[in-house]
Amino acid sequence: MLPPLRSNSGMDTPHDTARRLDDLEVKASYAEDLLDQLNTLVYRQQQQIDALVAQVTLLREQGAGADGGSTRNLRDELPPHY
């Protein structure tokens, strides 16, 4: 069961206020650490995406150069056992 809601009407003791402030500082610290980790992850993923885009571009260029502009005949690409 949830604890009863408390208002901010000045009824807190200085000890309660200090405890709540400490709790908020701890939560803010965890949130900041998590944000740094997520930023690092996003940066690494973007590097991987950039590398994959470069590889796909290179493969497309190699594939276009290998065709020599002719159309492909799928019968020419059948494995030898057919």
Torsion 34-39-44-45 (CA) sign = positive
pLDDT tens-digit map of 12-41 = 798 999 999 999 999 999 999 999 999 999
pTM: 0.57
Does residue 20 contact residue 12 with C-beta atoms inside 8 Å? yes
Does residue 28 contact residue 35 with C-beta atoms inside 8 Å? no
Residue 75: how many CA atoms within 13 Å on its side-chain side? 0
Provide the strand spans (E) within 1-82. none
How large a percentage of the chain has pLDDT more than 90?
Answer: 59
Residue type, 32: E
Give the Cβ contact number of residue 12 at 10 Å.
14
pLDDT tens-digit map of 53-80 = 999 999 999 888 776 556 667 777 777 7
